[in-house]
């Protein structure tokens, strides 16, 4: 293999109407900690569609973060992977992405692919797993140990999307009892993903929680724009509890509402570490721990849709589906 087929934007597309164009580039040479990975599958995330909608004008950035594939070559400072290893990873904003047949990736962000998952099932998981793990176990500080949070309750706002569907599983593994919101059509999916109490976000959530005997929770994870849910979170959070979000607020949040309970607010952005070159190896370590949990059956892949082939049509189909804002689990493109 001497070249890679990659996908980048054409110039000057209209907002929400972006197009991908196909280019052929020489394969890059891995330096230092790099791996050159032949991409077998890539997944789409809302960050991809947000960038496609907002990156106007000429540029040659290749989108895509999640990936699973096979190592083709490695840099001189890579000791823990070999050519031919199967890996999965979520990448970084700092490099060209995974809408490609091959890409460079920092080995510290990478882990061995879960042995029991296909490439498509594995590619669905890294970005959302890192986000859910970092919010729950790093930002909020709950122990990432099996059953260590027994007796604690977590409320997830947006339980059926990509992040919610892995957060519920990680929370359950660590001992939480989990409530999560979605439309009723997603309730079976929630229950398959270890949600104990599905809640319909179209109806009054405090009433549903009270009726279920959940007067308060130890943590609230708001996996959608948080403004509309902040007062609810402040009302149901237990004293000394933790509230967090992964989505930028469109308004100032009334943090004063948490003060009487000494409750904490947390932001999680899974690209913070790579944007600021901090604690890079922790992302590979989290993915390695998650891979073990996939292999033992404690976690399952959230892939719901697989599109065969990396093509303009499939990329746009995947983006359009995700942009409905009402998908369940993850959409993946099979590259090879
Ligand atoms: N900070 C980070 O590092 C980070 C990482 C990953 C994702 N994110 C962001 O987090 C958000 C969620 O990501 P995702 O991958 O889970 O998205 P996703 O898979 O697209 O989420 C889809 C789900 O959102 C639910 N939903 C839509 N409107 C809602 C509302 N008003 N209230 C509650 N739920 C609603 C839908 O449920 P219904 O079908 O029932 O409406 C659907 O199941 C996105 O904004 C994404 O950009 C941030």
Spacing, Cα 33 to ligand 1 middle (Å): 33
The structure's pTM equals: 0.96
Q: Whose CA is nearest to atom 48 of ligand 1?
A: 246
Ligand 1 atom, smallest distance to 225 CA: 45
Instruction: Tell me what pLDDT residue 270 has.
Output: 98
Question: How many residues does the structure list for the chain?
Answer: 336
| CA dist., res. 27 & res. 311, Å (int) | 19
**Average per-residue pLDDT in the chain?**
93
Domain 3-125+272-334 matching CATH 3.90.180.10: the answer reads yes
104 lines ligand 1 (CB under 6 A): no
* 123 Cα–ligand 1 center, Å: 18
For domain 129-267, give the fold. Answer: Rossmann fold (3.40.50)
SS3 per residue for 235-282: HHEEEEEEEEECCCCCCCCCHHHHHHHCCEEEECCCCHHHHCCCCHHH
Distance 272 CA to ligand 1 centre (A): 19
Our answer on whether the CB atom of 9 is closer than 6 Å to any ligand 1 atom is no
Instruction: Give the residue, by CA position, lying nearest to ligand 1 atom 40.
Output: 183
47 lines ligand 1 (CB under 6 A): yes
The list of the chain residues with pLDDT below 50 reads 9-17
Helix (H) or strand (E) run with residue 47 in it: helix 46-54
How far is 1 from 186, CA to CA, in rounded Å?
A: 43
Task: Give residue 162 CA to ligand 1 midpoint distance, Å.
Answer: 7
The residue whose CA is least distant from atom 19 of ligand 1 is 161
Span 51-96, pLDDT tens digits? 887 776 666 678 899 999 999 999 999 999 999 999 999 999 999 8
Domain ranges of the chain: 3-125+272-334, 129-267
48: which 2 tokens?
């991809």
Choice from 129, 161, 189, 327 to test ligand 1 binding pocket (greatest atom count within 8 A of CB): 161
Q: Which of 54, 63, 158 to mutate to test the pocket of ligand 1 (most atoms within 8 A of CB)?
A: 158
DSSP per residue, 150-177: TT-EEEEES-SSHHHHHHHHHHHHTT-E
Residue 162 near ligand 1, beta carbon < 6 Å:
yes
- Probe target for ligand 1 pocket from 47, 90, 223, with the most ligand atoms within 8 Å of CB: 223
Would you state the pLDDT for residue 8? Answer: 53
Query: 57: how many CB neighbours lie within 10 A of its CB?
Result: 8
Q: How far apart are CA 232 and CA 258, in angstroms?
A: 11
Report the alpha-carbon distance of residue 99 to residue 305 in Å, rounded. 17
pLDDT of residue 20: 79
165 pocket-lining for ligand 1 (C-beta < 6 Å) = no
Q: Which of 43, 44, 45, 46 to mutate to test the pocket of ligand 1 (most atoms within 8 A of CB)?
A: 46
């Amino acid at each position: 293999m001497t070249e890679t087929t990659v996908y980048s934007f054409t110039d000057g597309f209209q907002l929400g109407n972006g197009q991908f164009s196909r280019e052929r580039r020489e394969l890059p040479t891995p330096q230092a900690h790099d791996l050159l990975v032949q991409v077998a599958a890539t997944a789409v995330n809302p960050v991809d569609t947000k960038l496609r909608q907002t990156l106007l004008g000429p540029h040659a950035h290749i989108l895509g973060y999640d990936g699973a594939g096979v190592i083709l070559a490695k840099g001189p400072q890579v000791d823990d992977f070999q050519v031919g290893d199967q890996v999965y990873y979520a990448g970084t904003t700092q490099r060209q992405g995974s809408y490609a047949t091959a890409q460079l990736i920092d080995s510290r962000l990478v882990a061995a692919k879960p042995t029991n998952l296909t490439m498509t099932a594995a590619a669905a998981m890294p970005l959302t797993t890192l986000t859910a793990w970092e919010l729950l176990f790093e930002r909020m500080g709950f122990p990432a140990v099996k059953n260590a949070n027994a007796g604690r309750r977590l409320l997830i706002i947006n339980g059926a999307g990509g992040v919610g569907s892995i957060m519920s599983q990680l929370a359950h593994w660590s001992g939480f009892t989990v409530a999560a919101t979605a439309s009723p059509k997603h309730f079976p999916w929630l229950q398959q993903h270890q949600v104990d109490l599905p809640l319909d976000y179209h109806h009054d959530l405090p009433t549903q929680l009270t009726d279920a005997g959940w007067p308060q929770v130890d943590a609230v994870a708001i996996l959608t724009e948080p403004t509309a849910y902040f007062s609810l979170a402040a009302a149901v959070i237990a004293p000394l509890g933790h509230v967090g979000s992964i989505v930028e607020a469109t308004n100032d949040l009334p943090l004063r509402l948490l003060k009487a309970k000494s409750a904490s607010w947390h932001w999680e952005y899974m690209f913070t570490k790579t944007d600021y070159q901090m604690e890079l190896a922790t992302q590979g370590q989290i993915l390695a721990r998650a891979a073990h949990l996939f292999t033992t059956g404690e976690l399952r892949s959230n892939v719901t849709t697989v599109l065969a082939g990396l093509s303009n049509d499939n990329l746009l189909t995947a983006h359009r589906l995700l942009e409905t804002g009402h998908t369940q689990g993850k959409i993946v493109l099979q590259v090879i």
